[in-house]
Structures are given as C-alpha cells and as structure tokens.
Amino acid sequence: MTTGHVFIATSLDGFIARRDGAIDWLPGLETDPGENYGYDGFIESIDGLVMGRNSFEKALEFETWPYSRPTIVLSHTLDDMALRGDIRKAVEISRLAPGDLMAALAQRGWSRVHVDGGKVIQSFLREGLIADMVITRVPVLLGAGLPLFGALPADVSLAHDETRAYPSGLVQSRYRVR
Ligand SMILES: NC(=O)c1ccc[n+]([C@@H]2O[C@H](COP(=O)([O-])OP(=O)(O)OC[C@H]3O[C@@H](n4cnc5c(N)ncnc54)[C@H](OP(=O)(O)O)[C@@H]3O)[C@@H](O)[C@H]2O)c1
C-alpha cells in the first residue's frame, strides 16, 4: 500500500498560510545557513507529491516550478488543459478520492507520497492515509489563516519520534500515526 507523508511548516498557532494564501512569513533558506531542515532527504525518499489545487496555484507563482518529483494535483475544477506547457510533464490533475488515488498510485509502483496542502492533508488524515508528519514550527503568531488541521471523525493518535530546535528558533517535530 502506498503511504502518505507530510512535511510542512506552520506558524506557532498552527497556520500554513495567511487567509489569502500568503506565505511571506515563512523563513528563507538563509535563516539557518547551510541547513535545509531535512527537506532534501525527505524529497529523495518519496516517489511523488499529491497536493491540493490551492497549493498548486501558489506554487505556480514561483519563478520556476519548485518540485523535482512528479506531482498530482487534486481538483474538481481544473483539468489537464489548465496546465502550462512547461509543467505538463511534471504535473497531472486528478479527481480521484484519496483512497482511490492511493490505490492507483500503488498500481504505478509508488510507495511513498508527499501529501501537501491543508485541506488535502486533512482529508488524507480522515481516511487514515497518512503514515507520518514532519512539522516545522516557525516562531510567529499569525492570529488567523489557513489551518493545517481540522475536523476528524475520531482522534488520531500519534507517536512522537523526535524534536529538533534550530538556532533560528524553528522547531521541527516528527510524529508517526499509530
Ligand atoms: N506552510 C507550508 O509549508 C505550506 C505547504 C503547502 C501549502 N501551503 C499553503 O497552503 C495553502 C493551500 O492550502 P489549502 O488548505 O487552502 O488547500 P489545498 O489542500 O492546497 O487545496 C484544497 C483544494 O484542493 C481540491 N481538492 C480536491 N480533492 C480534494 C480532497 N480530497 N481534499 C481536499 N481538497 C481537495 C479542492 O479544490 P477544487 O475546488 O479545485 O476541487 C480544494 O479546495 C496555500 O496558500 C499554500 O501556499 C503552505
């Protein structure tokens, strides 16, 4: 079975973006010089990404497409025709429900998927499709924004693997879903 893995940054009060989707408060890579917070190793470990339409639209604002792995965008409102020519090879749009998508990815031979975007992470958590989460807390309170977590049908019990504090004040914790 293909497993879902979260690697994401939040404000201390649990938001992944401002209400309008802005991520200007996320520190740049120069914050802890020479440090990539385990991101490169994480990306090496996954077969591809599954992200929500909102995260996809934010990524399109970057000068160049920021992901090196194949990406599946979950959307009921976009189709492949909406893809710019330069990212058509890297990105695919899917309308599949989370469980059906993971089954289809298993057929493709994908074993580990980076699941990204607040709403999409929440829907994968609800379906029991997330195996572990690396959450990097940025020392800022936004007061309002788009939450990482949301409603659940039942508690999701987690095992804490490790927490690491960086000189900049970023604090990264790894949890496994039990
Ligand atoms: N802090 C970080 O590290 C970090 C990381 C990633 C993203 N972000 C930010 O997070 C924001 C986006 O997060 P978000 O929570 O607004 O949305 P999201 O999860 O990226 O996208 C949600 C959208 O995906 C589509 N979708 C299709 N199937 C879905 C399903 N099963 N479950 C959920 N959504 C599904 C829907 O769009 P349709 O209407 O098209 O169907 C839905 O509105 C962006 O501003 C991005 O920059 C921050």
Instruction: Copy the structure tokens of residue 16.
Output: 């992944």
Residue 168 CA to ligand 1 centre (angstroms): 28
**Distance between CA atoms of residues 2 and 130, nearest Å:** 10
For residue 108, report the phi and psi dihedrals to the nearest 5 degrees.
Answer: -80, -10
Structure tokens belonging to residue 26 = 């996320």
State how far the Cα of 42 lies from the Cα of 7, in Å rounded to an integer: 8
Q: Yes or no: say if 105 and 113 are a contact pair by the CB < 8 Å rule.
A: yes
Ligand 1 contacts CB of residue 172 (under 6 A): no
Specify the pLDDT at position 91. Answer: 97
In this structure, the residue with its CA closest to atom 16 of ligand 1 is 54
What does the pLDDT look like over 104-148, one tens digit per residue? 999 999 999 999 999 999 999 999 999 999 999 999 999 999 999
- Which ligand 1 atom minimizes the distance to the CA of 18? 45
Contact status, residue 123 vs residue 102, Cβ threshold 8 Å: no
Q: What is the pLDDT of residues 43-82, one digit of tens each?
A: 999 999 999 999 999 999 999 999 999 999 999 999 888 8
Give the pLDDT score at 82: 82
What type of residue sits at position 118?
G
Does the beta carbon of 52 sit less than 6 angstroms from any atom of ligand 1? yes
To test the ligand 1 pocket, which listed residue (119, 133, 170, 172) has its Cβ within 8 A of the most ligand atoms? 119
Q: Which residue has the tokens 């520190």?
A: 27
Domains and CATH numbers, the chain: 3-26+37-177 (3.40.430.10)
Is residue 96 pLDDT above 70, yes or no?
yes
Q: How far is the CA of 22 from the centre of ligand 1 (A)?
A: 13
pTM above threshold 0.95: yes
Q: Does any ligand 1 atom lie closer than 6 A to the CB of residue 119?
A: yes
- Given the CA of residue 74, which atom of ligand 1 is nearest to it? 27
Residue 58 Cβ < 6 Å to ligand 1: yes
